[in-house]
Structure 1
Amino acid sequence: MSNKKYHVQKKPFVVPTTDGKLIEEHFGNATDGNSDVSVAHMIAPPKWSEPFQTPKFDEFTYIIKGKKQFIIDDEIIILKAGQSIKIEKNTRVQYSNPFDEACEYLAVCLPAFAMDLVNREE
């Protein structure tokens, strides 16, 4: 048994997707059972989008490369590399990358991302 006070994540959980988006969860429900916080590295391909959702978690997004579009309460916000945003829980939001280049970013969710908390619209 290890008594280390840290954990180096070398094998993040790759979430299976059908839309070409890469999701590598480094910490969270799928990786280490942590429901308090999730940290994921993502790459959204050009022209990617997902349905509107009203998550029951705060989500912090930091853009590493490219641009990402957010529609929050009918307002369109576009972030580029080096910018970040916090979207509070119970906020209706749509995430997309309508641009011609991939968008690489980090997402942190408090509490951790879980399908039963995301409330995606059909």
Structure 2
Amino acid sequence: MKKYTLITNPFSIPTTDGKVIKEHFGNATTGDSNISIAHMVAPPGWHEPFQTPTFDEFTFIIKGKKQFIIEDEVVILEAGQSIKIEKNTRVQYSNPFENPCEYIAICTPAFSMDAVNREE
């Protein structure tokens, strides 16, 4: 038995807002509830509602910029920068910039819609 898992065709999660989400490991791809790793591209003008996830989320920016509103603080990350947002923190993610933002998101435990707690 192999002691590794190779993902050559990540699961593309359907969206309605133009964001590209390709999950390499996690609930949708491997059934792993401990961690999720996804490659994402957020188009210019993209945003999500505020949310208070029950998982830690690590984000590494590959290209472009991404805006975070964490509690009441605005944080902007650029290519080569990363951030960890602790679980139970109110946050909003967006790309109010002119270029797409490409990034990697890692969630522990794994991302699930039930754990996001998005505001209406």
**Which range, TM-score by smaller chain?**
over 0.9
Q: Does 1:47 align with 2:78?
A: no
Q: Distance in 1 between matches of 2:33 and 2:10?
A: 16
Structure 1 runs of 4+ aligned residues shifted over 3 Å read none
* Cα distance in 2 for residues equivalent to 1:69 and 1:113: 20
Query: How many angstroms does 1:32 deviate by?
Result: 0.6
Deviations 1:29-87 (A, max 9, x none): 00010000000000000010000000000000000000000000110000000000000
Aligned partner of 2:60 in structure 1 is 62
The reply to whether residue 71 of structure 1 matches residue 35 of structure 2 is: no
After TM superposition, the structure 1 = structure 2 runs for residues 105-116 of structure 1, keeping only pairs within 5 Å, are 105-116=103-114
- Secondary structure (helix, strand or coil) at the match of 1:117 reads helix
Deviation at 1:111, TM superposition (A): 0.1
Deviations 1:69-121 (A, max 9, x none): 00001100000000000000000000000000000000000000000000001
Q: CA deviation at 1:7?
A: 1.2
Unmatched 5+ stretches in structure 1: none
Q: CA deviation at 1:8?
A: 1.1
Give the % identical residues: 73
Q: In the alignment, which residue of structure 1 is the partner of 2:79? A: 81
TM-score (norm 1): 0.98
Aligned to 2:28, the other structure's residue is in SS state helix
Q: Matches of 1:12 and 1:118 in 2, distance apart? A: 21
Number of positions where the alignment pairs a residue of Structure 1 with one of Structure 2: 120
Does residue 16 of structure 1 match 2:14?
yes
